[in-house]
Amino acid sequence: MRNLTDVLWQTIPTNDHDNPWAIRNPLDEARDLYRMVISGSSGVEEIRELIAVPEPIKEALLAYADRYPKDGQHIHSVLLFRERVAQEFERLVDEKPSEVPGQPETMEEPEGAVVLVN
């Protein structure tokens, strides 16, 4: 069975209203989902679940794609898109932790800083 890295060479279709397989830019989708977290309408874990393709479903889709190559390229593209959305979403969460409700901001000690403890 092939994995998604095997199909990285494949391009993601551009948005075309007549194309049922058309998908958005992964960064745009991640930003929209991140806005849902910032607004408080969804939590980070909820969005991660929304983005992810459950393993049994992914396996079934990949098996179908292997059996029906005509649809396979589109299936691989959509699965790759979900991976890219996840990467971009995680990058946004990591870059701006203070904007995420309920997530403490990480503070790094400056180089050479001295920590005093009582």
- The terminus-to-terminus CA distance of the chain in angstroms comes to 58
Between CA 60 and CA 111 the distance in angstroms is 49
Residue 10 near residue 77, CB atoms below 8 Å: yes
Q: Which residue is associated with the tokens 């009582």?
A: 118
Query: At CB < 8 A and 24+ separation, what contacts does 36-41 make?
Result: 37/93, 37/100, 37/101, 38/99, 38/100, 38/101, 40/101
Residue with tokens 């960064």: 27
What per-residue confidence (pLDDT) applies to 37?
92
Which stretches of 22-115 are DSSP H helices?
26-39, 44-51, 55-67, 69-95
Q: What is the pLDDT of residue 12?
A: 46
Residue 35 predicted with pLDDT over 50: yes
Going by pLDDT thresholds of 50, 70 and 90, the confidence category of residue 64 is: very high
pTM above threshold 0.75: no
Residue pLDDT, tens place only, 74-84: 999 999 999 99
Whether residue 4 contacts residue 59, with contact meaning beta carbons closer than 8 Å, is answered with no
